[in-house]
Amino acid sequence: MIYLTMLLCFIISILITPVVIKLAFKIGATDKPNQRKVHQKIMPRLGGLAIYISFVLGVWFYQPQSPYIMSILAGATIIIITGILDDMFEISAKLKLVGQLAAAGVVVFWGGVQVEFINLPFSDGTLEFGFLSVPITILWIVGITNAINLIDGLDGLAAGVSSIALITISGMAILFGNPFVVIIASIVLASTLGFLVFNFHPAKIFMGDTGALFLGFMISVLSLLGFKTSAFISLILPIIILGVPISDTFFAILRRIVNKKPLMAPDKSHLHHCLLGLGFTHRQTVLIIYAMAAFFGLVAVILSQAKLLGSFALIIALLIVIEVIAEKIGLVGKNYRPLLKFIRSVRYPTVKNR
């Protein structure tokens, strides 16, 4: 049944996307080129609507049974409306945040999706989040929603990275025995892949905030539901699965702090910008980031099966790799290389700076 539903969603997404392209031009939901953007012509940017329609029809066809389903659909609808308004009128960041908080609030207060406590590693103790469970959960949903939105800078980039994350989430939900997450993640995945047919370079349509916010919202909620256990490592797994958007967002914040710029200030120093600056083509850059996303997914799967000490060693090694890559490609700045300088000082202790 799930494979038939995925095929149906894939086909629906392919059939609806050309209609959405025409609709986007008709209502003015277009993206004009400027100095920060890579594309050189006016592009329709309502593509997320095709993903959403395909997803809703897939849910209606499969009819998964879960107390979470209605709140997820309601939250997704709020997010889609927020995205459509932004794609049409470019609403303010504050108004977009209101929409994201409303969507997160629906799944938290109506659906009951909350991270309430975790078991502490190396002990029998438990860390109860208490009244903080609600803000922590909302912060996670809003944070991941915006992280996906931030990497939506090249043809097929956000859709592909999201698809890889959804594959990992659904695969690990199978390992954790969570059929509802498998079903919903698979439906979103099939809908996204159908859209990717039109979105991969050279794109005929962008997903816009409609798509980036929707995929970010769905991935954030599914990652919470998929790893909703009391184990400490289960709290780390979704962070690793979403390693590409989360690390890009983290270094964007660090970059603006180091350069003394406002946190919300736009720039052209995100991961994809840095790779393009190194001479990679548009398509090569997207495929490299796909490979990075797949690597994070693989690490998450290995981590889920590792023992506690091995898990911590793997996490530390992963953090070092991320920092080295960030410094190598200049993700924070060309002169920001604290770890590389430290490694060099250890390897060549007698060499003095000139």
Pairing of strands 117-119, 126-128: antiparallel
Q: How far is CA 151 from CA 108, 169, 172, 229, in A?
A: 26, 19, 24, 29
What is the token pair recorded at 266?
A: 């736009």
What is the pTM assigned to this prediction?
Answer: 0.91
pLDDT at 227: 74
Q: How far is CA 318 from CA 181, 223, 312, 324, in A?
A: 26, 20, 10, 10
Q: Is residue 302 part of a domain?
A: yes
What is the token pair recorded at 159?
A: 């859709």
Residue 328 lies in domain: 2-347
pLDDT at 238: 86
pLDDT in tens, 299-310: 998 988 888 788
Domain count, the chain: 1
Q: Identify whether the C-beta of residue 65 lies closer than 8 Å to the C-beta of residue 183.
A: no
Q: Identify whether the C-beta of residue 44 lies closer than 8 Å to the C-beta of residue 29.
A: yes
CA 83 – CA 146 distance, rounded (Å): 12
Q: Identify whether the C-beta of residue 185 lies closer than 8 Å to the C-beta of residue 232.
A: no
CA 101 – CA 141 distance, rounded (Å): 9
CA 94 – CA 128 distance, rounded (Å): 31
| Average pLDDT of the residues in 92-102 | 95
Q: Identify whether the C-beta of residue 78 lies closer than 8 Å to the C-beta of residue 102.
A: yes
pLDDT in tens, 200-255: 999 999 999 999 999 999 999 998 898 765 555 667 888 899 999 999 989 988 99
What percentage of the chain reaches a pLDDT higher than 90? 64
| Average pLDDT of the residues in 142-157 | 90
Q: Is 196 exposed, middle or buried (0-12, 13-18, 19+ CB in 10 A)?
A: buried
> Which residue, 154, 292, 144, 153, is CA-closest to 218?
144
> Which residue, 249, 220, 218, is CA-closest to 78?
218
Q: Is residue 209 part of a domain?
A: yes
Q: Is residue 69 part of a domain?
A: yes
